[in-house]
Amino acid sequence: MHCTTGAPTLPARRFLYVIAGLIVLTLAAAFGWNIFQDRLMRTAFVPSVPFTAPSDAGAPDYAAASAWLARPDLPDDPSRFTVADIARAARPEVAVFYVPPTSYMKRDRWNAPLDDADANQRLGLFASSQASAFNGMGAVWAPRYRQATLGAFLAGNADAAAAIDFAYRDVARAFDAFLAQIPASRPILLAGHSQGSLHLMRLMAEKVAGKPVAKRIVAAYVIGWPVSETADIPAMGLPGCTGPGQAGCVLSWQSYAEPADTHGVQAVYDATPGLTGAPRKGTPMLCVNPLTGAPGTAALPGANRGALVPDAELKGAELKPALVPARCDASGFLLIGAAPEGYSGYVLPGGNFHVFDYALFWANIRADAEARARTFLGR
């Protein structure tokens, strides 16, 4: 089996371009911008300087707590967010390795510095709404990494590929340090979103598949990034999940309200090779319904245990049960019916709820992870 786990190819960067455009539009809504043209997006976000690898002096030291966004010993860990009547695990038996999405948007360099205040504020929001779903069963570890800036996903050139590859190398080092700092027998849950899921897929291909650590993986939540059941999954070391409570498998979905316009992502998915090197076109896209824990299924709103709906200031959230249904369509996208209230300022064109892939199903993800952990632990 051929596994292409190096820097993204040109077709892969084309997919990154689509996702980056969606992220830009999300952030545009969040910060009152009005950037809808490719040329303006490039001008606003693509760095104007050549890629230069950041200095080793600025590399995160993952043996130190300061290199982590979330870690069990951090006093201000945003992944510990929860809502009324839902408790965090008092004695977590699983270690969660969560890779955050893109939060750096400046064009002064290709990779984010670790001390950018704006990027770090956004990272905290992502950890609160995404990684917090796992704090009922695990202790979350989330690395601060020198992520590729948003413009790297718009450029489609060698500089962009180098920046994405550089970001991955921080994530890979963080994973090695994570393994070194947790007990050797501790079960592990992997999770990511968007750019984080891109890095997580490569990480699984390079550091999980065929390695002893694969036997310790409770599940992998590769959310907000398309995963081919035949062109990606065989290289990742774990199968796609086939049912609720199953341990040692991969979950993935991409959320859209109806009527959904998914043709942009679908077209690039069809044009890109998978991790095995095989083409994705014509292959099934993995869609595990977060309301059922099974692929290719449908569930009514009553199955939704609670969605996180953010307040206007993005400083808190309310848990609303039965907010949306969910069904995997024939193409592998997750459809949630009519757009729910509470998210209108951040919904992307085509009904894409990319930024809320976790929040829409927060309580179900929480219960799903706990069930898979119980299976793994033999309970």
Q: Is the pLDDT of residue 26 over 60?
A: no
What integer pLDDT is reported at residue 370 of this predicted model?
98
| Sequence spans of domains, the chain | 10-376
Condensed to tens digits (0 to 9), the pLDDT of residues 74-117 reads 999 999 999 988 999 999 999 999 999 988 888 888 898 999 99
The closest of 17, 9, 27, 6 to 355, measured between CA atoms, is: 27
CA distance 344 to 227: 27
Question: In which order are the strands placed within the sheet that holds 326-328?
Answer: 255-256, 334-335, 326-328, 298-299
Mean pLDDT over 340-350 rounds to: 82
For the chain, give the mean pLDDT: 89
What integer pLDDT is reported at residue 3 of this predicted model?
45
- The larger pLDDT score, comparing residue 232 to residue 104, is at 232
Condensed to tens digits (0 to 9), the pLDDT of residues 234-285 reads 999 999 999 999 999 999 999 999 999 998 889 879 988 999 999 999 999 9
pTM, full prediction: 0.89
What integer pLDDT is reported at residue 5 of this predicted model?
43
The closest of 115, 169, 145, 122 to 26, measured between CA atoms, is: 122
CA distance 195 to 189: 18
Q: Is the pLDDT of residue 294 over 60?
A: yes
Band of pLDDT at residue 152, cut at 50, 70 and 90: confident
Q: Is the pLDDT of residue 341 over 50?
A: yes
What integer pLDDT is reported at residue 302 of this predicted model?
99
Q: What share of the chain is helix, strand, coil (3-state, %, to 5)?
A: 40, 15, 45
Q: Is the pLDDT of residue 230 over 90?
A: yes
What integer pLDDT is reported at residue 272 of this predicted model?
86
Q: Which regions of 84-126 does DSSP assign to beta strands (E)?
A: 94-99
Condensed to tens digits (0 to 9), the pLDDT of residues 177-223 reads 999 999 999 999 999 999 999 999 999 999 999 999 999 999 999 99
